[in-house]
Amino acid sequence: MTKSVPLSLPDISDKEIKLVSNVIKSGWLAHGEWNKKFEDSFSNFIGVKDSITMNSCTSALEIALKVNKIRGEVIIPSMTWCATANAVVNAGAKPVFCEVESKTRNVSAKTICPLISSKTEAIIVVHFGGQTCNMDEITKLAKRSKLLLIEDSAETLGGTWKKKKAGSFGIGCFSFFPTKNITTGEGGMFTCNDKSTLDKARALIGHGITNSTYDRERKKFKPWIRESTYAGHNFRMPNPLAALGFLQLKKIESMNKNRNKLANYYNKKLKKFEFITTPYCHKDVFHSYQMYTIEVDKRIRDGFVNYLRSNKIGASVHFFPPVHKQPFYKDKKNKVNLTVTDELSKRLVTLPMYSALKKVQIDYIINTINKFKY
C-alpha cells in the first residue's frame, strides 16, 4: 500500500456528521440556534463575556477594526497569511509591518514599540502556529499607548500565555478552516468583553440589522420588520456549520493534548538531524501546535520540501513570501528592517500535524528524511 501523509486532516466523527445531517434536515440552514450554543460554549472555553460566530477569521479581523472605527495605522507582523493585512486594508486602515522574534516567530513589545507613532491606532498580534505571544508586555504596551489590541488567533485555539487563553487579552479572532485545530469547513469566531462592541459587531455581520433572522422569527409581533442601522456585511455562519463547531469544540482539549504528544515525538526523532532545528516553545506557553514548523538551511529548503512531497508527505512552507513581499504589498514602504522575517520565510518547513496523526506516520517521515541527500 502506498504511504501518504497529508499536511493536515480534520477530525470529524460520525456523531458530528449525524448532528449536521439532522440540522440540515430541520430546514433551518441560516444563522440559528446552534450558533448561540456554539458561541456560549466558546466563550466559556476562552474565558470571555461573549463570542460571535462568523464566516471566517478574516471577517472577524475586519469587523474588529470597523466596529472601533480604525482608519489609521495598524501594526501587524509580516510573518502571517495575507488575510491579516487584507482585513486592515479592507477596513480602510493602513498596515505597518512589524518584525518578529526569531525563536517564537511572534511579534513582541520590543519589535512593536519602535513602530508606534501619532498615526498608530491598533496592534494586531498573530500567535504563530499555536504559540501565544508574550501578552504581558504587549497588553501593557497597548494600554500605555492607548491602542486597540486585536489577537489574530487563527492558529492558536486553546493556546495560552501563563494559563490565560489566546483571544482573551484583546479582541480575539479565530479560524475554523479545515487545517485548524477545530473546523467548520469555513468559519471563524469573534471574542470580546465589551457589550457595545459586541452589539455593533453582531449588527455589522448581518447587513447592519440589530437582530438576526432567527431572533426575529421567534417574535409574535411583526417578525418581518428589518431595520438596517449600519452599512453592514453578510459575514454570518450557517446553522449546520455552527452545530459542527459546537461538537468539535468539545474535543479541543483532547485533540490539543494529542498534538503536543506528537510534537514531542517529532522533537525526539528529529534531534539526530544536524541540518534541522526543531520548534522552540516558551516556558510560559501552552502550545496548541496548529502547525509543526522546523528550520533548515535556506540553500536546501525548497529541495527538501519538494523531496518530501515527492514521497507523498504533505510538507509545506508558512509563510513564503511574507506579506510585505506579496505583489499587492511589496511596493509599500516599510518602516523597519524585516531581516528576521525574510530569513525565516526562507528557512521554515511545515511538517504534517493534525490530532489524528499516527506515530507510525511520523516514523515514515523520519525514515524518508534519513534518505535525503543535501
Task: Tell me if 121 sits within 8 A of 71, measured CB to CB.
Answer: yes
Share of residues in the chain with pLDDT > 70 (%): 94
* Residue 199 and residue 97 share a domain: yes
Please tell me the predicted confidence (pLDDT) of residue 133.
98
Mean pLDDT of 9-26: 98
- On the question of pLDDT at 1 being above 50, the answer is no
d(CA 39, CA 8): 25
* Residue 241 and residue 104 share a domain: yes
* Residue 199 and residue 265 share a domain: no
- What are the residues facing 17 on neighbouring strands? none
Task: List pLDDT tens digits, range 194-232.
Answer: 999 999 999 999 999 877 666 656 666 667 666 778 889
Domain final residue pick, 221, 252, 283: 252
In this structure, is residue 4 part of a structural domain? no
Please tell me the predicted confidence (pLDDT) of residue 335.
66
pTM of the model: 0.95
Task: List pLDDT tens digits, range 165-194.
Answer: 999 999 999 999 999 999 999 999 999 999
Share of residues in the chain with pLDDT > 90 (%): 90
Domain final residue pick, 252, 267, 282: 252
Task: List pLDDT tens digits, range 37-80.
Answer: 999 999 999 999 999 999 999 999 999 999 999 999 999 999 99
In this structure, is residue 8 part of a structural domain? no
* Residue 188 and residue 97 share a domain: yes
* Residue 336 and residue 187 share a domain: no
- On the question of pLDDT at 10 being above 60, the answer is yes
Q: What is the CATH number of the domain that holds 305?
A: 3.90.1150.10
Q: What is the CATH number of the domain that holds 210?
A: 3.40.640.10
In this structure, is residue 366 part of a structural domain? yes
Task: Tell me if 174 sits within 8 A of 189, measured CB to CB.
Answer: yes
- What's the domain range around 273? 253-370
Q: How many CA atoms lie within 13 A of 347 on its CB side?
A: 18
* Residue 140 and residue 264 share a domain: no
Which has more confidence, 2 or 336?
336
Going along the chain, which residue ranges are E strands? 50-54, 73-77, 94-98, 120-126, 148-152, 160-161, 164-165, 171-175, 188-192, 285-286, 292-295, 348-351
Burial class (CB in 10 A: 0-12, 13-18, 19+), 71: middle
d(CA 54, CA 47): 19
- On the question of pLDDT at 315 being above 50, the answer is yes
CA dist 165 → 21, 74, 97, 169, 309 (Å): 32, 23, 25, 8, 34
Please tell me the predicted confidence (pLDDT) of residue 79.
98
Q: Please name which of 3, 13, 6 lies closest in space to residue 254, comparing C-alpha atoms.
A: 13
* Residue 107 and residue 165 share a domain: yes
* Residue 320 and residue 265 share a domain: yes
Q: Please name which of 53, 117, 122, 119 lies closest in space to residue 84, comparing C-alpha atoms.
A: 122
* Residue 258 and residue 215 share a domain: no
Task: List pLDDT tens digits, range 114-168.
Answer: 999 999 999 999 999 999 999 999 999 999 999 999 999 999 999 999 999 999 9
Number of domains in the chain: 2
* Residue 235 and residue 123 share a domain: yes
Mean pLDDT of 272-299: 98
Kind plus residue range of the DSSP H or E element containing 37: helix 33-46
* Residue 177 and residue 318 share a domain: no
Q: Please name which of 206, 257, 255 lies closest in space to residue 229, comparing C-alpha atoms.
A: 206
Per mean pLDDT, which range of 252-256, 269-273, 327-331 is the poorest?
A: 327-331
Domain final residue pick, 225, 252, 279: 252
* Residue 234 and residue 166 share a domain: yes
Please tell me the predicted confidence (pLDDT) of residue 54.
98
For cell 486532516, what's the residue?
A: 9
Task: Tell me if 289 sits within 8 A of 353, measured CB to CB.
Answer: yes
